[in-house]
Amino acid sequence: MSAAPLRLGLAGLGTVGIGVVKIVQAHADLIAARAGRPVSITAVSARDRTRNRDADLSGYAWETDPVALATRQDVDVFVEVMGGHDGPAKASTEAALASGKHVVTANKALLAHHGHALAETAEAAGLALRFEAAVAGGIPVIKALTEGLAGNRLKRVMGVMNGTCNYILTRMQSAGLPYDQVFEEARQLGYLEADPNLDVGGIDAGHKLSLLSAVAFGTRIAFDAVELEGIGNVSIDDIRLAEDMGYRIKLLGVAQMTGRGLEQRMTPCLVPADSPLGQLQGGTNLVVLEGDSVGQIVLRGPGAGQGPTASAVMSDVIDIARGFRVPTFGVPASQLSAAQPAKSATPAPYYLRMTLLDKPGALAKIATCLGDAGVSIDQMRQYGHQGANAPVLIVTHKAAPDDVTHAMTRFAGTGVLVGDPVAIRIEEV
């Protein structure tokens, strides 16, 4: 075992940062044995030094400015768990790399916006830039892609990657509560980001999907090309009717390379209720990786929280202590090509919900619109009348997204529609 410890500078003493402190303090001997050398924290940084953080920080030097922390002589690895895609997180990470420090980060937003440039800087200097904790919390999905599945050509990456959204949707389903009520419940429980739209708008999960796409398909990060739709428009009616048809609604990320380019979408989808994704409850994440040789791999576990995310941080730290090096995104950043972005065109079944006027021929007009657009009906149910209106639910056979959109546009001209129709893709898993 090397006598020289690997010295960490920890920027950010929130939930994840304190989790890292606790692991380093509680498992010092175990970490040293596995890493081949001791791992210690020498200095930390956070805005408020007086806050009670439920951890003993007295043995560490303190820097108010994370850039100063990143350039200290007694720091070998800069651990960034502050968050934010610009400002102190970006400045301190760049300073760390310029000062010859390895970097471990849990910051998916930083990497989604600046990851390629940071990776080029790190690799040119022979430094590690690791980010296991940035995607799916404690699930080792980055290691799975860059190491375990390195011999595969990836076909598809898919998963539920935001625990808050999954909590809201499963809570709506299990308790029969409307979105607004469960959203407020999640806020009270502290599950939502300071800007809730990062969660419920699909942005946080979209950041993660863009990083997985880059690793899986050997492309530059293309977060701006991710089709994003949050869960704010998912109604309790859709939750109930989907369940009646044997489905559950999830905020699902899907990325796949097609002949037209790279499809990336993070949108509400229906999945079979008895599938691993359909059974996923609460804040748990699940990622599905499909390789040409291995087939389908399913990784499931806690997607956030102090222990799981800090565990992922420490896995990267221990790899650096061992001397293990792998390019940030699996292949050298200089070899990553910009993928042609492609709007989702892969055919899939669709769930359609609408309310029609209760008059002869109303349903026939809707069926005609679907048929004229090349969309065929697999299942159809008409529910109890609501006054002069008739709720109708249709599940289509596989159809191209543009064909479904075309049919939905034509519905408005039939004169039989009450309110706006709803269309949700059904993902086969």
| Beta strands, E only, 15-161 | 39-45, 61-63, 77-80, 102-105, 129-130, 154-160
Read off the DSSP letter of residue 346.
-
Left if phi > 0, otherwise alpha if psi is -120 to 50, otherwise beta: which for 51?
beta
Q: Where are the beta strands (DSSP E) in 212-334?
A: 227-228, 247-258, 261-272, 284-291, 295-302
How many degrees, rounded to 5, is the angle at CA 154 between CA 150 and CA 159?
A: 110
E strands within 194-283? 227-228, 247-258, 261-272
CA angle at residue 250 from 246 to 256, to 5 degrees?
A: 105
Alpha helix (H) residue ranges in 218-303: 236-244
Of 143, 208, 343, 398, catalytic: 208
Q: Which residues pair with 62 in a beta bridge?
A: 44
> Which positions ≥6 away from 274 have C-beta within 8 Å?
246
356: enclosing H helix or E strand: strand 350-357
Question: Does 101 qualify as catalytic in the annotation?
Answer: no
The count of C-alpha atoms lying within 13 angstroms of the C-alpha of 359, restricted to the half-sphere facing its C-beta, is 7
CB neighbours of residue 395 within 10 Å: 19
Point out the residues that are catalytic. Answer: 208
